[in-house]
Amino acid sequence: MQLTGSQILIECLKEQGVDTIFGYPGGAVLNIYDELYRHQDEIRHILTSHEQGASHAADGYARSTGKVGVCLATSGPGATNLVTGIATAYMDSVPMIAITGNVAVNLLGKDSFQEVDIAGITMPITKHNFIVKDVDKLADTLRKAFVIAQTGRPGPVLVDIAKDVTANKAEYVKAEISDIERVKDTIIGSDVEIALTMIKESKKPMIFVGGGAVISEAEDALMEFVLKVDAPVTDTLMGKGAFSGEHSYYTGMLGMHGTKTANLSVTECDLLITVGARFSDRVTGNAKKFAKNAKILQIDIDPVEINKNVLVSHCITGDIKEVLTILNEKLEQHNNKEWVEHVLSMKEKFPLKYRGDVLTGPYILETLYKLTEGNAIITTEVGQHQMWSAQYFIYKTPRTFLTSGGLGTMGYGLGACIGAKIGNPDKTVVNIAGDGCFRMNMNEIATAARYQIPIIQIVFNNHVLGMVRQWQTLFYGQRYSHTTLNDNVDFVKLAEAMGAKAYRITKREEVEPILKKVLALNEPVVLDCQIASDDKVWPMVAPGAAIEEVFTEEDLEAKKG
């Protein structure tokens, strides 16, 4: 049947099972929005306060559900406002479709009003992108975009559509959408056998889990693998929840703000089995000294990540769940009791610590974990609050910790929180922010209020850019250049002005009763939590140092004294 390009777009989205789009209208996408109006009972559109909020909401929806997130923006500045969100999704391997409008075909390349080469701009930060200039190619292009976004290592795909394409007509035939196949054909039997031998010969194995295990939904296979290998586990920000943080074998996060136990165990181990992690600089510290006593076995779906940041002894390339399933079938039960007991003794010796006499971020997070029993989705911005969220809230299941790991995007969390709540309406969804980050995206509280999306926004308000100030304190002679936020912004009044409930917390005794009240509400709410300006994230590894040089506040004081 003959349909307009806008109608074809909507039908293709329906084919893919898309139920929600996050976006902001404009001239180049008016035809699409007119069609969305006609299909509002089938596809829900969430109007965000800013296009960047739409891209982060699509990202949060995707990370929390495993589905493809979709965002929509007009040409020119509408499209460029998506760029940070697209880059965020690219760095963290999030399946997302960004649809942008552009000027009509005859106006392309003429510096027309609100024209920009968004495909050229986003080429380095997408898995692929398309410019659609012919309505006859629109349906196939959209279908390809969804396949690319989900195949292998996921990522964002941009589809830029000229305005006249959305009005022109073409023949549309509904397609049956096949499931995306897992990457198995790269898993070589001899690679598996070598890996099994490495595991058998190891006396001190350590398992290092990254975001690939979450994306692959490999948590059950991973648990079986850990127990068969009989090895302690550490993870990255992206890997949280793939292996339960409540399990006794869990040692905490690895890297710059990882636990002493995790950092020292990786340094001592003789085999580091890396499952879906890419050896980011924040994890490895000085890469030349990383896991210096170990052979490294890397399991990853993306061959580009093998030997990119750290040279490995051996690798298996393929879908994490598929690889672990094959290994589990062939693995004997190993017993590394002495090594495991040694690592667990370090957990007792080097617990995470924070001040118990004042209101702190860690105390708020521990209380939130207790009251929710860990059954919540936590999104974060980027900074000290992000690290505390990784350290002090315990993640039992995958897709419950959503944060910008690779790009480190301040302003990510609130949009992601909205997207996650829409994708998971029956779950408690909380965004943790610092006051510096909240300033970058607090306009999205108006979005949550408009649609009555019952999210909880917690602001750790220390009146400074906390993580930057921490570095200025430790490495820049306490020269606090432009990191003190000494204005009189009242987040409670702001939140109320945008239509949300709001409360201020100034002391420890208020935390539990107010959190209980907030968790019982079914509406958007903001908590302004006043914490000290000089609270720091501990432990820490100095930039350029080896992870074994991890230090705490007590270590620093002992060194001074």
- The contacts of residue 520 (CB under 8 Å, 6+ apart) are none
- The contacts of residue 386 (CB under 8 Å, 6+ apart) are 237, 380, 403, 432
Q: Is 557 a catalytic residue?
A: no
Taking only Cα atoms into account, the Rg of the chain, rounded to an integer number of angstroms, comes to 24
Catalytic site residue from 14, 15, 67, 114: 114
Among 467, 437, 478, 481, smallest CA distance to 537 is for: 467
Pinpoint the alpha helices (H) of 476-507.
Answer: 491-497
Q: Is 130 a catalytic residue?
A: no
Catalytic site residue from 206, 238, 467, 540: 467
Q: Are 495 and 413 in contact (CB under 8 A)?
A: no
Q: Is 51 a catalytic residue?
A: yes
Cβ burial of 560 (10 Å; 0-12, 13-18, 19+) is exposed
Pinpoint the alpha helices (H) of 424-484.
Answer: 435-441, 444-451, 466-475
Q: In this structure, how many other beta carbons lie within 10 angstroms of the beta carbon of residue 38?
A: 11
Q: Is 393 a catalytic residue?
A: no
Catalytic site residue from 16, 96, 150, 163: 163
Among 367, 337, 525, 544, smallest CA distance to 449 is for: 525
- The contacts of residue 494 (CB under 8 Å, 6+ apart) are 442, 445, 502
List the 295-300 sheet strands across, edge first.
250-253, 233-235, 205-209, 271-275, 295-300, 314-317
**For residue 234, what are the β-bridge partners?**
208
Catalytic site residue from 16, 22, 35, 51: 51
Angle of CA points 377, 183, 192, to nearest 5°: 105
Q: Is 114 a catalytic residue?
A: yes
- The set of catalytic residues is 51, 113-114, 163, 467
